[in-house]
Amino acid sequence: MSSFIITPKVDVPREFLEIANDFANPLELVREAISNSFDASVNFIRLNFYVEREYGE
């Protein structure tokens, strides 16, 4: 029997938006990311936030 590796391809921006829309409050997304990091026993977490201003709204 031969073995093979399947590598899924992910559209990262689309997945991010889908996940972000699952949360009513944007801060819930941050809380969930930190919680998942602790669950994975990570040693370091870096969070970067950027504000993109949209004019005309």
Give the helix ranges, DSSP H, for 1-57: 12-20, 26-39
Is the full-model pTM beyond 0.75?
no
Has residue 57 got a pLDDT over 60?
no
Provide the pLDDT for residue 21.
82
Model confidence pLDDT, tens digit, residues 1-55 = 788 888 889 898 888 888 778 878 878 888 888 999 999 999 999 988 888 887 7
Q: Give the confidence band of 56 by pLDDT, cuts at 50, 70, 90.
A: low
Q: Where exactly are the structural domains of the chain? A: 13-57
Provide the pLDDT for residue 47.
86
